[in-house]
Structure 1
């Protein structure tokens, strides 16, 4: 078949119903072939005796009989395009597929089922990834897709980890005509292909999509002639082997079935009674039957309100009725249908802003069932972004899982759309003006919708004024005497509160401050023999010098430092009791105070062999109101003032260095090297890694593991400037401690070069890559995987600069040519 004839067959072609036949179909089935083939040949079974050729997509007793309501298409792409020139990379065909399907499909909303054979499955997976991108014009194709059938798609080559696996697959399919361009591309971008497949599975698993997928794998073997393969591989494949293994052909978490066929026959069936065809037919029929339910579920999920608030309702919430009603008159989205409401709640630290916002959130959920409620802590940029990511996951925002996705922008755009419905967004603890308005400018990522409302809590008056466009924030004062009395006594027994005068004196001493009252009440609740009068005695006779020391850094606008002593006073009484009766809880609090304040995973604490002891210690801290448990029950928050009191106690008692070292080592051991598959873990650990790294000057220079992993986290998030700064620090430390030729030093050099390359700083990246490659060749040898990886990275830098001759020499592993390069 000549080039012009081949070109004329490319594209989307309807094969059923035939032209001129009345079309009463309601669903589309699109079949995509693999490498080194085209339609209709790829779907045809040749009986060899000349009696007939069976095309299971087109013959009336095959798929058309099983799916009589379907239009059936074939999509042909130039599967030999890699034979002589890199016209397109394999995955680049995804855009063409989307464009043709969109043109044919229009805005009909008809359900679509895809059947993808071999490498056509990778093209389809990439098309789904691109359709899922925020703002993509092809999102309707994704939302109309009700099922996919993969036929022996090599999602990871042969299933082996190395790039050579692609060599086996491609040559096994294409023989002597195997595409050197394609094999090379897959070798260089092996990790990229894996990442795209991982992203595809995340999209398919998203709550708003939940795409039905079946993966069929081969159980028959393929013989590959030794003349096609290099000798070392030919020896392994001297007998028939499965070309695409089950582990490579099956996506984790999706249904799969085996067919008793060799790879080349996976897309061919000899007749309607063929057992393998019956399996595929039954799956397609099941997808068709479930299509209405799949589409209805997506429609329902898209409209369902969300409640993304990390805390349960405070059953002991008392008082504050005036402020609460004032809030509830302003924060529901329908309170002003012409604007996106902005309400600021300002007040001093420990005065109860978070608890009032939490109660308001539950009121809005109960009184406005169609309104979504979202909670975002603004103590630092990472916690803010992590909370936005949770919102994005709840909304089913596609493209969110990209390592370099701009999560904050994606969520802002999604909530700004009218289709998002009504919502309340609570920004809690917005106390850092630099974080909010200048350097990080977090408030620039707040959405705008006339169906939306934003509540911001802050102890900084300037933040409240700058946020509130109307300039009239709600100010939260201390509790009234009656409210403070009710909060103190709500969980105490009658015998503990018999002395009315002592109660008044205690509340006066605590200045009706909710945090201090809560700590005092929690102490007495945990120690039933302590009455209010006894507790008052302890406050009055306590170590005033220690309380003063504990009150350092308790600055709050418009409040004298001494007036914050009630928090330090009640904290010291409770902590002294914990130190005596539950040493493990005291150890945990000493550990926690070095971490970030929000979403502290229990996994970052040193786990005891007896889980019951760990649970009991955490319960003690919660019982004394030192920590606030998240609804998920595997993490908690610590109040800023409690954290400060603990840190000051450690400094005063000479334990700061000991515990800072322990926590630093714990984070170093627990923080994983960031990968796409463990993203949920390192994203959660990142704010705590940042907090601990502020202490790194107190540790030995050799402790660079945490610094490197946090730098890698920034790189994975596309925050190259921050990554560069940390990589430079890591490289400097490792050069000084380990030497310039140590593998770890070379790894830091390589990582820094990649980061520079990502920022367009090509000359600096090239020089570093040359140094790293020279070091790897000297220390590890020219054929070590790290050396080869360094060669590849250098080739990429050269490619960016248009130095194609050197790039080609390196990418071909031309050691002689590489040896001529100036690596000084």
Structure 2
């Protein structure tokens, strides 16, 4: 009798283990494949995505321009959105109405949302090899290799077939979840002048992080029973679990080193990078997903928690990070321009764009020029072409050596503001004429810049020669 009971007990233990593995597999599938919970996935405007639940593994990096039209060139900055683990574009950025799967909103492409606020920017989505289940017949790429491929693909698609080798347009990244970790690794790896991607590093002027797990995630709390389930799920599909999952299981030593190096990079005096972090307030319950799908009895404890809480989602250099009233899965999805959380995110994007514009060398030079006192003086050569009394006498410059050393303000009658520099002005004969030559002289010892502009709207065949002493 004892042997029969022992046999039954062993048999029961075996079935219990199998059920636990099956439950773990189902839970993991529901967790990392949220499209299963929807009756219809968000429509995709990109090509190359396989249909059906057994989608193919993506091994390349692709940029897709979602705004403005590709033929429009009146832009001067790029915004690139990078998705997280086991998702793709445009699904990552698309909100789906739970009551009507056909009602969707992609805040990166919707003309009522971000495109209407950043008209001077091109907006891209970036797909990278983020599948949770990888092919079992290939050696998995390391996180360093994926980071390298990320910048290789971005640089290739940004430059296209142009001959230039340098990315010279400022870039603002929007990074979701684990995509932020991969981006940080790519930037750290490119942070030296011998790197082939150094121009991408210097072009990166700002990053908005959406629930990026700089300190790991609460997935480590369920990893003990979820890992076997994920492994079983992968075996069923003849796949292997991605090594990238290790980055979300907790604050590892490698993650701490990466965060420290990335923080130093952002604080570089020569190539600073503005960063900001958003974290979630919504709680996620993995067991509830399992119970809904398998009709199992609920556990005594629900263990609701934030997947990426404030402690994990922030960087020490970010002053006052902001929360969003949503779960982790919805951190990158907004249902319309009136959504309060969208206003928070888009507001930070606009603030960063302003900082980037004001920080470019062209903007700095323009600001300095506008603060310069300008004066118009006569060139001796101009008198030879003029007639009339008084024209034969050479006009002396009001910038005497003594005046320049004393840094005196020139005569008010010959000063001119920069916006009216090329406008017609009264000449010595009392008539208004378009200036053909302009001499701009600034304070002594500041340097010399000389430029010539041929042809103008007012004088198609004319010539303006400008000598700038600034």
Common topology (TM > 0.5): yes
Q: Which residue of 2 aligns with 1:243?
A: 307
The answer to whether the 8 A contact 1:223-1:237 is kept is no
TM-score by length of 2: 0.55
Question: Greater RCO between the two (CA within 8 Å, min separation 6)?
Answer: 2
Change (3 A) 1:52 1:194: same
The answer for the alignment partner of 1:136 in structure 2 is 195
Unaligned runs of 5+ in 2: 1-49, 160-165, 235-240, 292-297, 366-445, 448-470
Is the 1:186–1:193 contact (alpha carbons within 8 Å) kept by the matching residues of 2? no
The equivalent position to 1:26 in structure 2, one of 51, 76, 82, is 76
Match in the other structure for 1:52:
103
TM-score (norm 1): 0.32
Query: 1:13 aligns to what SS in structure 2?
Result: strand
Partner deviation per Cα, 1:706-743 (whole Å, 9 max, x = no partner): xxxxxxxxxxxxxxxxxxxxxxxxxxxxxxxxxxxxxx
Instruction: Quote the Cα distance in structure 2 between the aligned partners of 1:295 and 1:166.
Output: 47
Change (3 A) 1:14 1:136: same
Deviation, 1:196, is 1.1
The residue that corresponds to 2:67 in the other structure is: 16
Distance verdict in 2 for CA 1:227–1:48, change over 3 Å: closer
- Secondary structure in 2 matching 1:132: coil
Q: CA deviation at 1:167?
A: 3.6
Asked whether the 8 Å contact 1:34–1:120 carries over to 2, the reply is yes
Contact 1:128–1:142 (Cα < 8 Å) also in 2: yes
Write the distance in 2 (CA, Å) between the matches of 1:280 and 1:169.
35
Please point out which of 62, 75, 82 is paired with 2:113.
Answer: 62
Correspondence 1:201 to 2:263: yes
8 Å CA contact 1:83, 1:177 repeated in 2: no
Structure 1 residues 34 and 185 mapped into 2: Cα distance closer, same or farther (>3 Å)? closer
Question: Which stretches of structure 1, 4 residues or longer, exceed 6 Å deviation after superposition?
Answer: 168-171, 185-189, 226-229, 234-237, 297-300
Q: Does 1:104 align with 2:176?
A: no
CA contact (8 A) 1:166 1:187 kept: no
Question: d(CA) in 1 for partners of 2:340 and 2:97?
Answer: 16
Higher share of residues assigned strand: 2
d(CA) in 2 for partners of 1:170, 1:286: 41
Q: For residues 246 and 8 of structure 1, do their structure 2 counterparts lie closer, same or farther at Cα, with a shift above 3 Å needed?
A: closer
Contact persistence 1:25–1:70 (CA under 8 A):
yes
What CA deviation, in whole Å up to 9, does each residue of 1:90-142 have, x standing for no partner?
44321112112222334351110000000000011001101103411211112
**1:293 equivalent in structure 2:** 358
CA distance in 2, matches of 1:295, 1:25: 15
**SS state at 2:95 partner:** strand
Partner Cα distance (1:289, 1:168) in 2: 46
Deviation at 1:292, TM superposition (A): 2.6
Q: Aligned pair 1:212/2:274, yes or no?
A: yes
Q: Matches of 1:170 and 1:211 in 2, distance apart?
A: 37
Is 1:152 the counterpart of 2:211? The answer is yes
Q: How far apart, in 2, do the equivalents of 1:57 and 1:190 lie?
A: 33
CA contact (8 A) 1:30 1:73 kept: yes
- Equivalent residue, structure 2, for 1:266: 331
Conserved in 1, the CA contact under 8 Å of 2:167 and 2:203? Answer: no
Q: Is the 8 A contact 1:35 1:120 kept in 2?
A: yes
Q: Distance in 2 between matches of 1:170 and 1:197?
A: 27
- The answer to whether the 8 A contact 1:30-1:74 is kept is yes
Structure 1 residues 76 and 207: CA distance shift in structure 2, 3 A: same
How many matched pairs?
293
2:145 pairs with 92, 97, 101, which one?
92
Measured at CA, do residues 228 and 206 of structure 1 come closer, stay the same or move farther in structure 2, by a change above 3 Å? farther
What are structure 1's unaligned runs of at least 5 residues? 301-368, 371-824
Aligned partners of 2:140 and 2:242 also within 8 Å: no
Which whole-Å CA distance do the structure 2 matches of 1:137 and 1:299 have between them? 28
- Contact 2:61/2:154 (<8 A) preserved: no
RMSD across aligned positions (CA): 3.7
Partner of 1:42: 92
Counterpart Cα distance in 1 of 2:148 and 2:78: 19
1: distance between equivalents of 2:202 and 2:300?
Answer: 44
Question: Structure 1: how far apart are the matches of 2:109 and 2:231?
Answer: 28
Query: In the aligned structure 2, how far is the partner of 1:236 from the partner of 1:116?
Result: 36
Matches within 5 A, 1:118-137: 118-137=177-196
- Residues 41 and 207 of structure 1, relative CA distance in 2, 3 Å threshold: same
Structure-to-structure mapping, 1:231-380, within 5 angstroms: 238-255=302-319, 256-296=321-361
CA contact (8 A) 2:190 2:198 kept: yes
Q: Determine if contact 2:275/2:318 at 8 Å carries over to the other structure.
A: yes
Q: Is 1:164 matched up with 2:220? A: yes
Q: Tell me how far apart the structure 1 counterparts of residues 256 and 128 of structure 2 sit (CA, whole Å).
A: 22
Shift in Å, 1:203: 0.6
CA 102–260 in structure 1, closer or farther in 2 if over 3 Å, else same? same
For 1:132 and 1:245, locate their aligned partners in 2 and report how far apart those are by CA, in whole Å: 29
Name the CA shift for 1:235/1:215 in 2 (closer, same or farther; >3 Å): farther
What is the distance in 1 between the residues matched to 2:287 and 2:250? Answer: 26
